[in-house]
Amino acid sequence: MLKVGLLGAGRIGLVHAVNIAGNARSSLAAVADVNADAAQKLASNYGAAVRSSRDILDDPAIDVVLIATSTDTHSELIESATAAGKAVLCEKPVDLSLERARACLAKASATRSPVMIGFNRRFDPNFASVRKAAEQGEIGKPELLSVTSFDPSPPPVAYIKVSGGLFRDMMIHDFDMSNFLMGARPVTVRAVGSSIVDPEIGRAGDVDTAVVTMTFEDGRIAVIKNSRRAVYGYDQRVELLGSEGLLQAQNMLENTVVKSTAAGVMSAKPTYFFLERYMTAYAAEWEAFVSAVLEGRPMPVTLEDGIAALAMAEAATSSARTGEAVEVAY
């Protein structure tokens, strides 16, 4: 039974708390958050203690630390937690600065403590099924990947200003999805982006609609489309064309009801946001982490994976600004 210290009691911390408590091989021992009320509320729901991050890291009874704090604290917490000998699951992104993330990797690696980055979408049953079918050669050799990833509505502009921009904050999931499904990292990235959803986002220096094309050493191609607004819900699809077929993961819908009237045939919308859509993915992610820790197997998503996605985001950000193709420096 893994004893878990949860750093961060916000929205995503809550999701993790449910899974930690619901997993037969882990229990929530302690919670830390700068917001004492949030920490207290979450802790009492699960019979956990409210403690400081420092306390948690120093406690030898804590086996595992789950980092669900704000992005600017990730690198430092990964370093302290691994230094303290904890196994770590850290939310994405590792850091907004690629350089800082690399320094973190160097320190963390030296400790040999296992670190997993929370790219939850890899554990979505639909995407995982695409990956498995591709690996098993069900569509021959994968050649052309297409990722569609639209949020239902843009976050506040205040958030966007500190988010690192669409490529680091939102598309980073899709960069990792591409690495996951293609089984390789792209050589070159070409990005275009604009702020047509909300000009305020443009004035804040970011884009809200973007297309990134990536080419691989062996000639394969991947394309990612992002928009901050899809009024019909959370649109999360992939398509992988191979030499012997096509794999598509379609959206999950709110229900299976179809209504046919004189006005047309109406079906349910995609589940509205990531909590609904990825509920099972978060649980599977936690289970994968717990298994790997307890059984001494490699982390299913590594710190290097987190840094690769960050390097791609950096390249895309640069390409969208200059209009030129950028080689990714991993």
Residue with tokens 């899809």: 230
CB 245 to a second copy: min, Å: 4
Question: Which of 44, 291 has the CB closer to a second copy?
Answer: 44
CB 329 to a second copy: min, Å: 17
Question: Which of 66, 130 has the CB closer to a second copy?
Answer: 130
Enumerate residues 145-184 that contact a second copy by CB under 8 A: 146, 148, 150
Distance CA 225, CA 227 (A): 7
CB 51 to a second copy: min, Å: 24
Mention every residue, 6+ apart, whose C-beta is less than 8 A from residue 234: 150, 151, 152, 251, 270, 271, 272, 273, 274, 276, 277
245-249 and 209-215 as β-strands: parallel, antiparallel, unpaired?
unpaired
Enumerate residues 54-73 that contact a second copy by CB under 8 A: none
Distance CA 50, CA 47 (A): 10
Binding mask 90-119 for a second copy (x = CB under 8 A): ------------------------------
Helices within 91-246 (DSSP H only): 98-111, 125-135, 157-162, 166-169, 171-182, 199-203
Q: Is 320 in the site for a second copy (CB under 8 A)?
A: no
Q: Is 316 in the site for a second copy (CB under 8 A)?
A: no
Angle at 179 between CA 178 and CA 180, to 5 degrees: 90
Which one of 170-178, 251-259, 283-291, 300-308 is the stretch in contact with a second copy (CB under 8 A)?
251-259
Question: Which of 254, 304 has the CB closer to a second copy?
Answer: 254
Return the closest-CA partner of residue 223 out of 183, 180, 191: 191
Question: Which of 14, 223 has the CB closer to a second copy?
Answer: 223
